[in-house]
Amino acid sequence: MTGDWPTLPLRTAPVEGESIDSWIEALARRHRLSASQLLPAFGLSERARSVHRLIKVTPEETWRRMEHVAGLPSGTLLPAQLAGQSMGMTLVGGGTRFCPRCLGENGGRWLLVWRSNWAVACRRHRLLLLDNCPVCTKTPRAFLPGGVTVPPPGACSYQRLRYAPHCGTDLTSLPTTPAHPAVLAAQTWLDGLREAADRDDQDAAATLGNLPIVAYWLMTHEGVDWQGRAADLASGRAPTEVTVVNGRLPRMDAALIASVLDLSRTVLGPDDDAAVTAIRNLPTSRSTRTGTMPTGLSWYRWQAMTGPFPSRFLRAIDPDLAAMDRLRFKSPTPQAALPAGQAAADRGRFIPHLIWPDWAGRLLPVAGFHTDLFRATAATCLLGPGTSERTYRALTNRFNDRVTPAHLSVLLQGFGDLPAPTLLHVLTLFCRIATYLDTTDSPIDYQRRRVQVPTHPLITWPRWRDLALEIGSHPGDTPGKGRTSRGRLRHVQRHLLQLLTGADLGDGGHHLSFTSPGDRGNYMTFTTRMASPLRAALAGHAETILADLGIDEPVTWSPPAELADGLVLPGTDPASLDTDTIRRIVVDERRSVREAAQALGVNFEHVRFALDHLDRPERDWRPTALPRTWQRQQEMAQVATRDFFEREYVQGRRNLNDLAAETGYSRHLLAKAARTNGITLNKGKPHLVNDAVWLRDQYERQRKSTGVIAEELGISQMTVNLALHRFAIAPRPSGVHSSPQMINRLDGRLAADIRAAVEGSLQGWQRLHRFQIAMAFPTLKAAAAHLGIKPETLVVQFQRLEQDIGATLFHRATPATAQKPTERGRRLLNHLAKNHIRSLMAKSIPNDDLSKLPEHQAAAARQQFPRPRRPISPFTEIPVARLRITTALLDLLNDLMTHGDEQCYGALLITRLQRDASSTYEQLHRLRTAGWITSRIEDDDSWRSRASPIRGPGRRRTYYQFTPAGRDAAIYETARLAAHPPRRQGKR
């Protein structure tokens, strides 16, 4: 089809980078035609005289026709075609800027790049581009020259009408303005972006796409002095309009565009920190922000933006955002971005319900946080970065039901209350961990474990018993009938569940959840005291559980510690604690974890986390303890075989005592092993106690203990115990109920109160002796201080004494009266003073204590009751008597000083202070007597002015006012008591 298009006789090739209109004009000049006369030869209509239309909307077929008609190789005009279609926004009005020197040097050829709104400088000549012709004041090259005349190269081709004469001003000789270094730097940056975008650099293309949007947004900040910035770049320029209308830039000169481009280069340039600072320092950026979107941009444009600007804007407004939004946008970090949503939703699979222990230690402050909920709430916070959800409830509903929105809010507020920049660093850490989980394959899928592990029995009682005893640990009590777990077994199952799934046992949705605060405390005590061999054994068993479930993952894992580099976190790394101090306090001295935390100045949870990694050996058990017994049984099973008993016991006719002495195993264990191996044991010796009547008389009537009976007979106590069982004699309760003090009876002739206090109880004589001592003192508190014990101890002992006797023995002390015995108590004291009672008491109380009774009574005689109050030291420089300041008096002084210029009288003071009249007038009398205030009677005029028509004036008022010295005394006392106010007695 190209053969149907006639070609032109003369040829002119386009200059590199030349605009298509400039080439058409040069070709027309070669043929001595105007540019508009040449358009029909190219198949272009009259509308193509608009250079903007020519560049932007010329169809592909016409470009190829122009090449054919001009005799150019196919594709010659392709660079100009593509550049014109991709160069971005063109100059307002469709014209072009220009460099006079370039026009002069290249024969008046116009470059396509000058048509860009962002072309402001000629890098070759280091000049600011000119915007218009100084004669016609029009922007050049908006239309191709019309008419029949051809303007000279480099001349202004503006025509008021199509066939009107051209302006003809020689643009190559116009005066120029040197470009400011900032303008050249901005132009260089922009040209570099274009070149990178042409090489398919996506980041450069995104920055170029953002440039117009960011420029419009920057120009909406009225506080920026654009005219002043432009004047700094090009002195002597006339101010122009800078208002953005309907999202479009006005017609601005190169200097003004350069000022916008210079700031845009900072905002969109390679330096993130400089860009964030520039956005944050915009004069009106803080007051005109709407939510988290730049003011002046539509929501759709903001959501569609790519490149660095959205991230930098979010980082700039980070200090003004709520903590939840800072997490959502990751604004404290260089990865700040608009929420993606999906990554945050999937992230919960890789987060335990309780945040990893090492990170919990780094985040948990020494005080101020509820440690039970801290780890669960911190783990939920990791769902925040990048989420599209705008409320706390959306996070808590789908992760951990125990954590409420209030918990998240309180946690973030608590971090915000700590010294700056704690909250910033904590939020940064949350964002870093979330980004790490999103971009790196986590080795543990906690969601899969939360589904599968609870279906596994974790560990059964036989397996736990064998595992614990193999390493020398006590397995605890055997589960009762119908119960699957109990005691330590239940704690071990909880430990395995938390180890594998990071479960929050405070959530009641699991059968292993805590049932009460005490249950949780017992579990914490168990895990705190867990020895290293047991931890290692349980970790190995956890690997077995994962293998049973077909899960190929490590038992535990946590994000790397490098994520905290450069951050100052409020907690402490448990691995950095002084383990020697922890071992000394917790392991060696068997003191509490809280004491170790106080010694190290950390939270007690930090010590618990550190104990998980402390090398602690198993407990050294007594020989009779279950671990030692089990180990001996395992060892004995290798020695005490059936062949051994056949050889030694049956054929060798050796008894179990001989075998026990030879092997070192007890006779009882050997007998049990023999029966297990099917060996029939010989009968023992005849019983040594055969008289049931005699044994019953000794044990029941004479109330002798089995130990005393065995000592009298020269046999073992166990033999006597077996005889009681054989003769069906009911044994007394074991323990304290069988002690001599509990079963012995006193002589019936003794006073009933003494027998009631002593018989059937422990320490009865000691309580009676302390009653003797205490009744000599005015108060129980004084007696306890003298004896070096707590008053509560005496209270409990005397309550028990009165309960045993069945009567009140003394009247308790009051603030005004000392304690004294009742009539029943005096009779009891008289009995205790008798010699035969003292001799009975001496059998249970050391003589040294009894002999000190006169010393106790002498010390009591020196006690004064009530204790005299310390006299008040007088004022040194204030000439009034000093008073003891009570709460009522302090309130009165404050009121008189507050209303010092008013006339204060009694009824008014009573109303303001809301106290009874007698107390108020008593305090006023004290102040007047001491010279602090003066009083005067109401004068006649004031008195009569208050008279009512019916009842008359009533009683005269007495007005009170500070004396100068009294005011000084009041100021002194109120200032002294400001830090330590007097104790308030009761309520007003």
Using alpha carbons, select from 422, 317, 410 the residue that is nearest to residue 365: 422
344 and 453 co-located in one domain: no
* Cβ density class 31-47: b for 16+ within 10 Å, e for less: eebbbbbbbebbebeee
Picking from 826, 861, 896, the residue at the C-terminal end of a domain is 861
460 and 526 co-located in one domain: yes
Res 649 pLDDT > 70: yes
pLDDT value of position 433: 92
Q: pLDDT digit string (tens) for 526-537?
A: 888 888 888 888
Residue 818 contacts residue 865 (beta carbons within 8 Å): yes
Q: Distance (Å, rounded) from C-alpha 307 to C-alpha 268?
A: 9
pLDDT value of position 546: 92
Read off the pLDDT of each residue in 577-605 and give the average, rounded to a whole number: 85
pLDDT value of position 722: 86
> On the CB side of 66, how many CA atoms lie within 13 Å of its CA?
27
18 and 166 co-located in one domain: yes
Using alpha carbons, select from 495, 487, 520, 557 the residue that is nearest to residue 372: 520
pLDDT value of position 148: 74
CA trace torsion 28, 33, 35, 38 (10° rounding) = -80
Q: Distance (Å, rounded) from C-alpha 619 to C-alpha 703?
A: 41
- Length of the chain equals 988
Q: Which of residues 741 and 632 earns the better pLDDT score? A: 632
**Least confident among 194-208, 332-346, 426-440, 758-772:** 332-346
pLDDT value of position 101: 93
Picking from 650, 676, 702, the residue at the C-terminal end of a domain is 676
pLDDT band of 766, cuts 50, 70, 90 = confident
Res 9 pLDDT > 90: no
Read off the pLDDT of each residue in 677-682 and give the average, rounded to a whole number: 80
Helix orientation angle between 532-548 and 488-501, rounded to the nearest 10 degrees:
60
Q: Which of residues 795 and 160 earns the better pLDDT score? A: 795
pLDDT band of 982, cuts 50, 70, 90 = low
Q: For residue 904, is it within any domain?
A: yes
710 and 666 co-located in one domain: no
pLDDT value of position 693: 85
pLDDT value of position 948: 75
Q: Which of residues 958 and 230 earns the better pLDDT score? A: 958
Residue 56 contacts residue 84 (beta carbons within 8 Å): yes
pLDDT value of position 249: 61
Picking from 558, 584, 618, the residue at the C-terminal end of a domain is 558
187 and 126 co-located in one domain: no
Q: For residue 987, is it within any domain?
A: no
371 and 461 co-located in one domain: no
Mean pLDDT score across all residues of the chain: 83
pLDDT band of 221, cuts 50, 70, 90 = confident
Q: pLDDT digit string (tens) for 93-133?
A: 678 889 999 998 988 898 988 888 888 899 999 999 998 89
758 and 820 co-located in one domain: yes
The total domain count for the chain is 8
Read off the pLDDT of each residue in 420-441 and give the average, rounded to a whole number: 90
Residue 144 contacts residue 54 (beta carbons within 8 Å): yes
406 and 474 co-located in one domain: no
Q: For residue 578, is it within any domain?
A: no
CA distances for 776 relative to 779, 810, 849, 858, angstroms: 9, 12, 16, 9
Q: pLDDT digit string (tens) for 155-173?
A: 898 888 777 888 889 888 8
Q: For residue 553, is it within any domain?
A: yes
929 Rama sector, left if φ>0, alpha if ψ -120 to 50, beta otherwise: alpha
pLDDT band of 988, cuts 50, 70, 90 = very low
Q: pLDDT digit string (tens) for 842-878?
A: 877 876 677 888 888 888 888 777 666 677 888 888 8
pLDDT value of position 425: 93
Q: pLDDT digit string (tens) for 936-955?
A: 888 888 888 887 776 677 78
Question: For residue 41, which phi and psi values (nearest 5 degrees)?
Answer: -65, -30
698 and 661 co-located in one domain: no
What letter represents residue 37's amino acid? Q
Q: Mention every residue, 6+ apart, whose C-beta is less than 8 A from residue 428.
A: 332, 333, 567
Res 685 pLDDT > 60: no
> On the CB side of 694, how many CA atoms lie within 13 Å of its CA?
7
And the tokens for 638? Answer: 């290798």
pLDDT value of position 462: 87
pLDDT value of position 92: 64
Using alpha carbons, select from 646, 658, 657, 726 the residue that is nearest to residue 686: 726
And the tokens for 229? Answer: 């910035």
pLDDT value of position 560: 93
pLDDT value of position 686: 56
Q: Which of residues 185 and 982 earns the better pLDDT score? A: 185
Which range, 145-149, 228-232, 426-430, 519-523, has the best average confidence (pLDDT)?
Answer: 426-430
Q: For residue 882, is it within any domain?
A: no
436 and 453 co-located in one domain: no
Enclosing domain of residue 812? 753-861
pLDDT value of position 688: 67
Q: For residue 298, is it within any domain?
A: no
CATH of the domain at 940: 1.10.10.10
pLDDT value of position 833: 87
pLDDT value of position 563: 92
DSSP string spanning 180-227? PHHHHHHHHHHHHHHHHHHTT-HHHHHHHHHHHHHHHHHHT-TTS-HH
Res 413 pLDDT > 70: yes
**Least confident among 342-356, 359-373, 490-504, 862-876:** 862-876
pLDDT value of position 550: 92
pLDDT band of 334, cuts 50, 70, 90 = confident
810 has which bridge partners? 821
Q: Which of residues 16 and 742 earns the better pLDDT score? A: 16
pLDDT value of position 640: 81
Which range, 282-291, 427-436, 659-668, has the best average confidence (pLDDT)?
Answer: 427-436
172 and 249 co-located in one domain: no
Q: For residue 66, is it within any domain?
A: yes
Res 486 pLDDT > 80: no
Q: For residue 582, is it within any domain?
A: no
672 and 727 co-located in one domain: no
**Least confident among 488-502, 620-634, 883-897:** 620-634
pLDDT value of position 745: 64
Residue 80 contacts residue 22 (beta carbons within 8 Å): no
